[in-house]
Amino acid sequence: MSDSAPVFYTADTEQVCCCLCGDAGRPVYDLPPYGVRRCSNCTLVFVSPRLQSMALSRFYDQVDYFEGGVYGDQSRFSPAMVLQRVWTAGRLGRIAKARNGRRPTGQRLLEFGSGYGLFLGAARDAGYQVQGVELSRPAVQVSVKQGLDVYCGQLVDAPLTGPYDVICGWDTLEHVPDPLAVLRRIRELVADDGTVALSTPYFSSLPSRLLGQRWWTLKPAEHIWHYTPYTLRLLAASADLVVTTMIRSPVSPANLTRLDSLVVLLRPARRK
Ligand SMILES: [Zn+2]
C-alpha cells in the first residue's frame, strides 16, 4: 500500500457477527482498530471491528489499490501481470473442463470483483458474453474503456438478469460485507446447469498457520472474511451450492505460486 493510503480510526469501524450463525466469535488476533475473530459455532473467521462500508469504498477508490496500479496498464510488462495471465488461462481451462468442454461461444459469464477487466477481456476473447461487477471506480473506468460492460458497486445491488452459465469471482469473497448474501445472489443468477468459480485465501493454509498475525494475506482492512475448505463448503451449502473441485496446489496453473489460496468450482445443489 502506498504512502497515500487513507488512515482509519475506530470511528470508521463497525462490529459484526458470523454471517452463518450470528455469533460474535472469540478473539484470534487483536490488530487495532481491527479484530480477527472465530465463530464459536461454525469456526468461520471474520474481522470485527472492521471498516464500515463508506470507509471501505474510499479504500477501493484509491487508484493504486490494485498492486500500485500495475493492472491498470496492461501493456506494461511485469511479473505480476505474467502471473495474472497464467491464472486467467488456467481458470478458463478449469471452467471449460467443469462444463464438460461445452464451447464458450454465446454462453453468459458474469465476474464479480472484475478489477481492471483482465479476466473478463480474456473470457470475451474465448467467446463468452461477459458482464462484470466492481466496487472500485478507477477500475470500472479502465474496464469500460476496453468496451466491457461493468456495473460499479456490490453484486447484491447490481441490476442483473440471469441466468448466467458461469459466475466467477477471483479473490473477492474475502472482501464482501456479507458473503452469504453474495452466494445466495449467485445462486439466484446462475443457471441450474451453471458453474460457479471462486478463488480466495484460506486461513488453514501453511503460511497462515506458520506466520500467525504476520501472515501477508491477513490484511484486516480489506480481507474481512477468512475461510477454510470446511467453512467454505458450509457457506456454499447455506446458499444451495455444492463444491465440486477444490484446488490447493501452488503448481496448478489456476493457482500458480499461491501457497495460501484455494481455487474452488461449485454447482447448484438442486434445480430451482
Ligand atoms: Zn458461524
- Could you report the per-residue pLDDT of 52-109, keeping only the tens digit for each? 887 777 777 775 666 544 454 555 667 778 888 888 999 999 999 999 878 899 999 9
| CA 25–ligand 1 middle distance (angstroms) | 8
| CA 186–ligand 1 middle distance (angstroms) | 20
Name the strand (E) or helix (H) holding 58: helix 53-60
Residues 117, 146: Cα–Cα separation, whole Å = 8
What's the predicted TM-score (pTM) here?
0.89
Q: What is the dihedral of CA 220, 76, 115, 159, to 10 degrees?
A: 160
Residues 268, 272: Cα–Cα separation, whole Å = 9
Backbone angles phi, psi at 22, to 5 degrees: 75, 10
3-state secondary structure of 255: helix
Of 229, 255, 80, give the one whose Cα is nearest residue 171. 255
Q: Give the environment of ion ligand 1: residues with CB less than 5 A.
A: 18, 20-21, 39, 41-42, 44
pLDDT tens for 217-262 read 889 989 999 999 999 999 999 999 999 999 887 878 888 888 889 9
| CA 238–ligand 1 middle distance (angstroms) | 11
Tell me the DSSP string of 175-242: TSS-HHHHHHHHHHHEEEEEEEEEEEEBTTSHHHHHHGGG-TT--TTT--EEB-HHHHHHHHHHTTEE
The stretch 172-191 carries a mean pLDDT of 96
3-state secondary structure of 81: helix
Given this model, what pLDDT does residue 263 score?
94
| CA 7–ligand 1 middle distance (angstroms) | 30
Question: Could you give the residue ranges of the DSSP H alpha helices within 61-159?
Answer: 79-98, 118-126, 137-145
Sign, Cα dihedral of 75, 78, 82, 84:
negative
Biggest alpha carbon distance in the chain?
51
Bridge partners (DSSP) of residue 112 are: 133
* Cell of residue 130, nine digits: 461477459
Residues 247, 261: Cα–Cα separation, whole Å = 8
| CA 150–ligand 1 middle distance (angstroms) | 32
| CA 22–ligand 1 middle distance (angstroms) | 7
Name the strand (E) or helix (H) holding 47: strand 45-47
The stretch 126-138 carries a mean pLDDT of 95
| CA 228–ligand 1 middle distance (angstroms) | 13
Question: For residues 203 and 45, is the Cβ–Cβ distance under 8 A?
Answer: yes
| CA 108–ligand 1 middle distance (angstroms) | 33
| CA 41–ligand 1 middle distance (angstroms) | 5
Question: For residues 109 and 165, is the Cβ–Cβ distance under 8 A?
Answer: yes
Q: What domains sit in the chain, N to C, each tagged with a CATH number?
A: 80-268 (3.40.50.150)
| CA 134–ligand 1 middle distance (angstroms) | 27
